[in-house]
Structure 1
Amino acid sequence: MTPSAALNPVPARFNLARYCLAENARLRPDAPALTVVGDKAARRWTHAELDLRVRRLAAGLRALGLPSGARVMIRMGNEANAALCYFSAIAAGYVALLASSQLTFEEAAFLLRDCGASALALGAAFEKEAHEGEAIVLRGADLERLGESDPLDDYADTAADDPAYLVYTSGTTSRPKGVLHAHRAAWGRRPMREHWTGLGPGDVMLHAGAINWTYTLGVGVVDPLSAGACAVLYNGHPDPAVWPRLIETRRATVFAAVPGVFRQILKYGAPERADLSSLRHALSAGAALPPSLLAEWRARTGKEIYEAFGMSEISTFVSSGPTTPVRPDSPGRPQPGRVVAALPQEGGATPLPAGETGLLAVRRDDPGMMLRYWNRPEEERDAFRGDWFVSGDLVEFDADGYMWRHGRVDEVMNAGGYRVSPAEVEKTLLDFDGVTEAAAAERPGRDADATIIKAYVVMRDGAPQDEQALLAHCRAHLAAYKCPRAAIFLDALPRNANGKLNRAALP
């Protein structure tokens, strides 16, 4: 089945910002579109107000005389101007780049140089930064002035394959690499609406992430706006208890977060004390959702978590959801319209049969697929194999189409001469009573010339830290060569800003 068999063809002329904003401004002008809440008073825009503000700022950006296809870098936190600048740059026909607010000045300067930005929009926390180069620096007062321009009559007349936005991913390289997406990427997200998020007009989507992250930008902003729903972002003081409170006060119907946030809510947020009756379900992505965490969330809230798997190059394409029942420890099945397979590690473009482990691959003609890596032609060549985009994830699909993860090919351990997937060991560790988080890594043993598998676990409060019992559990469920030889108990696993395990930082 080709993608077009389940998805309507992408319109030839297509602008991502118009797709998200213009139609809903016409159909439901007074309905809430975007709300940003935090330590200060909430900012709230209706669909009509957001459409108008975007077209005003887009006109202001055009008045700067930026070259065609110019990159506009946005260095902001979860503030209203971040979403406004993102859509305005795209509405004007430029390429938007939302950079992480957690980047140091040096890291941000690298992105500015690497993408060759013609303009840099700075948020409140970064207004005093003095960036060198030819980029026009826009601070709060500048954006306010440009936002008073007479609005564009219409959004830029862009083709579906024209560049729309850049995201940067750390991957396994020493420097972040840019992933360039076309306007059609928003159209390619349509399978998620029915088969993962379940979003529709009138829904309220609360996302716990930072807007620059593709998970938050897509699921928390682009998807609800394109569906006629309301996006709610939070930029206040970090507090696990704030999420149940916001679900209650904002009457959120869908809540999205990484597994670590759900874990913090259960540990410190007292979800039982909040009125979660508006919540239809929750969404999880960015890291594997442990079955024990899912079970505790279900037991204490009575709500489901739909998990999904995706990547910066194509966003989310495997999920559970309203049409795909949850199977704990699996992120679900490929969404209808997606063509996904496991390919042989050694090469070839023929998908493996059910039950065999290979490299996760997605058809390159999927409308959500990236255009290319930014100035990385050699990595782009390595990423494609015939008609397939091939990731570094080791997976298998069962007879029902559910995907099961076996780690990444660059993370496979080789202790004692045997190749072992960390995911397989971690699954066994998580089955041990009291373990809430687990990781496995190859580390030096007593013999300087040999390595061993070490387990790293976080125990539930009050649960005993019994290394010998944990290792005995592993020996009862794993082949000897797969078993950890030692265990280290931690208060928390090291994770990056997006909640993903930082395996290199394990002690």
Structure 2
Amino acid sequence: MQSVSDSGLFPPCPAPFNLADHVLYQRAPGCTADVEALALCVLAPHVQPNDATPDDLREPQSRELTYGALRAAVRGVGTGLLAQGLTPGDRVLLRLGNTPIFPIAYLAAIAVGLVPVPTSAQLTEPEVARIIDDLSPAAILRDPGIASAPHPREIERDSLEAMQRSAPPENQFQMQLGDPDRPAYIVYTSGTGGNPRAVVHAHRAIWARQMMIRHWYDLRPTDRLLHAGAFNWTFTLGTGLMDPWSLGATALIPEDGTPIAALPDLLRQYDASLFAAAPGVYRKLLQQDQTLHLPALRYGLCAGEKLSSQVARDWRTATGTALYEAFGMSECSTFISADPARRRDPEQTGDTLGWPQPGRRLAILDSDGSPVPRNTSGVIAIDRRDPGLMLGYYNAATATEDRYQGAWFLTGDLGEMTEDGQIRYLGRNDDMMNAGGYRVSPLEVEAALATHPDLEQVAVASVEVKPDTHIIVAFYTSAKDVTDEALSAFAKDRLARYKQPRAYLRLDALPSGANGKLLRRALPDCYIRHQRTPS
């Protein structure tokens, strides 16, 4: 049997259409203006992490936003952005912190036809400068506390917050409806060539997310979903905010700076029925406590990196609930997932990703672009007509077309399809690394470090330092010693935190083949041998 999953493509997106309109207005019946849309979760000041009692949890401390207030805030900011002289089609770069103004500005821009570019607050000034050079945004929406680069038009957070307090009535606000295939937003992902790629998504991308809402979350209007990530992480923006809001559910986001150790108390304090986080967060929670009492929790959701079988088993033991993972990418969000409605062997959890979501057409291909037999490795590919697939890379037609082979979009990830149609993940088909749920190109990190005046050669790789824990390690040659502290400070000024190496190792020579080409896959062994060598 061939490795093809074809349940038929999801129904096409209606037209005219607007992503923000779908999120804010096309929700479950009965979701009125006074329903809670968002709670910024704050641990009660007298409660220490993992030490809460029922009495402590009776009066949650939070900033809440109802659906009525959310819609008004979006109308206000959207109207204000147009009043600043921005016009539909303009790109606006979001350099905002971990506060509710981030998703409000994102939706407001889309509502009035602008194209927002959400970015991580961790990016450094040089990284932002490259994005500005690449996209030529018409404006930067800026929190002064977030690193940015010079731009002639900056709209600061205070101005945005003033706009949201001056919302016009709904009957005086014009939602920009149009072709669902027109650009809605742009996100950045590290490309295999070392240069981050700008991925352009259409308004229809939100329509396609209904497949994951049904077959990964099983999300319901009554759910309260707590996402462990920051507002400005795309995983949080989609799974933690846009998807719950498109159903009329409640999104719960921890206050900026909340330690991971406090998350179990927040889950109890806010009666969270679903919890979403990267697998690394679950690992850390399990390290600190063997039993987690989460009475309202139905189950946990995870994505961003591969979930291990051990973490899945330990979470079930500690909480009595399951973990359901999903697999996706910046170019198509998540399209393979474990489904709460489909039974599978608990021992298989973590071994396979789950199934292609109904409505997706997926295959495992060989180097010629032909589907391979079941239980045979190949490249995971998605039908190029998938409604969740990107429009393309910004101003990079050749790079876009290189990702397609016939009817398929090539993910660059290796996998195999089991007899029952599940997908087993086998890693990247290139050298991309994973850092806390972010994909990072070693070439991008190497390019930044190579500008250090004392380094001769630099190579970067992901190293598994203990089961299920990987770090980015930089290997280098130099004529003289360079301290780890100096290299860390150098990287800090040029790379976002999640891209920075966590260890540095000086070598006499980088491993290479007979033709002198770097043997990147030999680098982790160099680090492991060094760690085992007595000092």
* Pair in the same fold by TM > 0.5: yes
Displacement of 1:238: 4.3
- 1:344 equivalent to 2:366? Answer yes
Assess, with a 3 A threshold, how the Cα gap between structure 1 residues 242 and 360 changes in structure 2: closer, same or farther.
same
Give the letter aligned to residue 187 of structure 1: W
For the Cα contact (< 8 Å) 1:211–1:217, is it kept in 2? yes
In structure 1, distance between residues paired with 2:117 and 2:238:
13
Tell me the residue number matched to 2:321.
303
For the Cα contact (< 8 Å) 2:125–2:148, is it kept in 1? no
Displacement of 1:24: 4.0
Displacement of 1:438: 6.4
Corresponding residue SS for 1:321: coil
The one of 359, 363, 373 equivalent to 2:383 is 363
In structure 1, distance between residues paired with 2:321 and 2:384:
35
In structure 2, distance between residues paired with 1:52 and 1:321:
35
Corresponding residue SS for 2:402: helix
Which moves more between the two structures, 307-316 or 49-58? 49-58
Displacement of 1:77: 2.2
In structure 2, distance between residues paired with 1:179 and 1:233:
26
The one of 139, 144, 155 equivalent to 2:156 is 139
In structure 2, distance between residues paired with 1:380 and 1:408:
19
For the Cα contact (< 8 Å) 2:511–2:523, is it kept in 1? no
The one of 309, 319, 324 equivalent to 2:342 is 324
In structure 2, distance between residues paired with 1:452 and 1:111:
28
Corresponding residue SS for 1:272: coil
Give the letter aligned to residue 188 of structure 2: Y
Task: List aligned pairs for 1:71-470, cutoff 5 A.
Answer: 71-123=91-143, 125-126=145-146, 131-134=149-152, 136-147=153-164, 148-151=166-169, 152-268=172-288, 270=289, 272=291, 275-326=293-344, 327-328=348-349, 329-345=351-367, 347-348=368-369, 350-411=370-431, 435-437=467-469
Tell me the residue number matched to 1:464.
none
For the Cα contact (< 8 Å) 1:360–1:392, is it kept in 2? yes
Structure 1's unaligned 5+ residue stretches are 413-428, 457-483, 491-507
Assess, with a 3 A threshold, how the Cα gap between structure 1 residues 449 and 3 changes in structure 2: closer, same or farther.
closer
For the Cα contact (< 8 Å) 2:5–2:356, is it kept in 1? no
Displacement of 1:30: 1.3
Displacement of 1:302: 0.7
In structure 2, distance between residues paired with 1:216 and 1:157:
25
Q: Residue by residue, what CA displacement relative to the aligned partner does 1:99-142 show, whole Å, maximum 9, x if unpaired?
A: 1000112212222232221121112523xx674334x2111221
Q: Residue by residue, what CA displacement relative to the aligned partner does 1:350-393 show, whole Å, maximum 9, x if unpaired?
A: 32221221111001111101011011222101011122111111
For the Cα contact (< 8 Å) 1:359–1:392, is it kept in 2? yes
Displacement of 1:6: 5.6
In structure 2, distance between residues paired with 1:212 and 1:54:
17
Tell me the TM-score normalised to structure 1 length.
0.79
Assess, with a 3 A threshold, how the Cα gap between structure 1 residues 325 and 487 changes in structure 2: closer, same or farther.
farther
In structure 2, distance between residues paired with 1:448 and 1:54:
54
Displacement of 1:315: 0.3
Structure with the greater relative contact order (CA < 8 A, sep ≥ 6): 1 or 2?
Answer: 2
Tell me the residue number matched to 2:451.
none
For the Cα contact (< 8 Å) 1:445–1:452, is it kept in 2? no
Assess, with a 3 A threshold, how the Cα gap between structure 1 residues 214 and 145 changes in structure 2: closer, same or farther.
closer
- Percent identity reads 37
CA RMSD of aligned residues (A): 3.0
Displacement of 1:68: 2.7
In structure 2, distance between residues paired with 1:178 and 1:453:
28
In structure 2, distance between residues paired with 1:409 and 1:448:
20
Which moves more between the two structures, 235-244 or 179-188? 235-244
Which moves more between the two structures, 203-212 or 94-103? 203-212
Tell me the residue number matched to 2:13.
10
Aligned pair count reads 437
Tell me the TM-score normalised to structure 2 length.
0.75
Assess, with a 3 A threshold, how the Cα gap between structure 1 residues 452 and 230 changes in structure 2: closer, same or farther.
closer
In structure 2, distance between residues paired with 1:296 and 1:210:
25
Tell me the residue number matched to 1:49.
69
